[in-house]
Structure 1
Amino acid sequence: MAIKDTLQGAKRENTIVALRSLMRFCRKTGRIFRDPTLRIRIARRPDKVILPLASGEIDRAVAAATTPAIRLILALAAIHAARPKMIRDLRLDDIDLGNHRITIGGHPRPLDELTRRALLAWLGYRRSRWPNTANPHLLLTQHSAMANSPVGKLWVTNAVRGLTATLERLRIDRQLEEVLTRGPDPLHLATMFGIDDKTAIRYANAARHLLQTTAETPEPP
């Protein structure tokens, strides 16, 4: 157990977690009678500060959206805070253009006009490119159009390859923007994006910190 004292940070935490798992197994199988890891405490790491993206970083992501597929992927991440897996898993029946609704990750949401235009452009391309495909997923590639599986993970994330405004950063920025605009209300954020309470509270705390910092910063003369 002395090895834990030679480690710091994430390595120490991972080692302790692995040791605990090993000791539980040994105790369950009768190889030991006392778990020496029970008294070990892992210090809780403070949450990373959530900061908004700079406008230039977002502009570069928008400029990179040169195809209907990339424009739709960016809209889903930047407007609806959709994770890459949620984007990949979207199906045609998740889109209700008539009622201006979209279901992302099982969570129904209003369909804004910008995303609606991106959807219409992509659906038009999809129909002309793969008119006979039976794949029920919204996004397609040449490979997935011949099957029923979603597009690959890298295909989606490559939409903003090399940019600071990755899909994950765009998703985080959208949720932060919501609490900065509507106020640090975790319940509203959880309801709107379908995130868990702990994550919603973290965004609310980040918004309070940013709003307080902005209020305390004197305006330039």
Structure 2
Amino acid sequence: MSCAARLHAPVGHSPRRPSAPTCSYLRLAAPPLRTWYEDGVTDLRAVTRTHIEQALEPIHGEAAKSRATALRSLFRVLKREKLIFRDPARTVSLTTAVVLPRPLADDMLRGALDRLSNPRDRLSFALAAVHALSTHDQRHLLLDDLDHSRAILRVRRTGKPVHTVYLDELTYRMARQWLAERHRRWPGTTSPYLLVTAHTATDDTRPPVSIQAINKPLRVHGHQAGRLRVDRILNEAQHTDDPLHLIRLSPRTAMKYIHAAHPHRSQSDPIMS
């Protein structure tokens, strides 16, 4: 009987057609159901977690996710209808591959600053590649966040403490060069932001620069602020295996960079497994 055929309904109830998702789940669950039957499992109450895991083992990616969802849905319904006593698929989970960050090739970074002629682009490059500031961080930097007396930059993040960046000599020099260029081109601008473009410097609503304004000039030379930031954090991780040290650069993903830089120290804890 096809999936579109009417199901036998209880006495006193009108028959109904299965929904499209139900048909899809039945098609996905059919191969393992057929295999179990051929192996002598004629009662779904005899299906165990091992059966479920063996049904998922030969396939990977989206196909495995789809089959797992179908089997979980099938056994959830059977359990709800009291046709089985326990749900063998309830605790089965797929191992999701974690994509770890990879460093940029040395030749991609060599001479990069020399190829950037605009002072603002050079500063953006340094803020990402040296100080691991994201495009979001850079877009919302204020003029007042740059403390010339101490050569520090305050990064304000919503809901988080102010992050203090201690500028190296090169980055601070590029910041001063950009401020000189900024004042030369738009002496009357009222924009409160450190980074401006021809559009934002003259816009009375005083918007921040766009993500594209930061990334587009870098892409011309094969770079992107976010990728430069990842490379910087990974480089830092290669010199330490202490996640607390990395929190100042990337508080939400410190352990990912530790695992990428020190794979031999990333074995799972058997107690926590």
Q: Determine if the TM-score, normalized by the shorter chain, exceeds 0.5.
A: yes
Give 1:158's aligned amino acid: K
Give 1:134's aligned amino acid: T
Distance 1:119 1:2, change over 3 A: farther
The answer to whether structure 1 residue 209 and structure 2 residue 267 are counterparts is no
| Structure 1 residue 159: Cα displacement | 2.2
Q: Which moved more, 1:117-126 or 1:59-68?
A: 59-68
The answer to whether structure 1 residue 138 and structure 2 residue 194 are counterparts is yes
Alignment check: 8 A CA contact 2:100 2:257 kept: no
What is the percent sequence identity of the aligned residues? 33
Distance 1:65 1:210, change over 3 A: farther
Structure 1 or 2: more helix by fraction: 1
Distance 1:135 1:169, change over 3 A: same
| Match of residue 51, structure 1, among 102, 122, 135 | 102
Counterpart-to-counterpart distance in 1, 2:138 and 2:65:
32
Counterpart-to-counterpart distance in 1, 2:110 and 2:154:
27
| Structure 1 residue 195: Cα displacement | 1.7
| Match of residue 128, structure 1, among 184, 191, 195 | 184
Counterpart-to-counterpart distance in 2, 1:162 and 1:48:
26
Q: TM-score, normalised by structure 2?
A: 0.61
Query: Which string of whole-angstrom CA distances, capped at 9 and with x for unpartnered residues, describes residues 44-69 of structure 1?
Result: 42221322111111126334311101
In the comparison of the two structures, how many residue pairs are matched? 191
| Structure 1 residue 167: Cα displacement | 1.4
User: How large is the Cα RMSD of the aligned pairs?
Assistant: 3.3
Q: Which has the greater radius of gyration? A: 2
Q: TM-score, normalised by structure 1?
A: 0.74
| Match of residue 135, structure 2, among 62, 70, 84 | 84
2:251 is matched with which residue?
A: 195
Counterpart-to-counterpart distance in 2, 1:11 and 1:157:
36
Counterpart-to-counterpart distance in 1, 2:254 and 2:224:
21
Structure 2 gaps, min length 5 = 1-21, 30-58, 70-79, 81-88, 267-273
Q: What SS does the aligned partner of 2:100 have? A: coil
Aligned structure 1 segments of 4 or more residues deviating by more than 3 angstroms? 1-14, 38-42, 162-165
Q: What SS does the aligned partner of 1:193 have? A: coil
Distance 1:206 1:142, change over 3 A: same
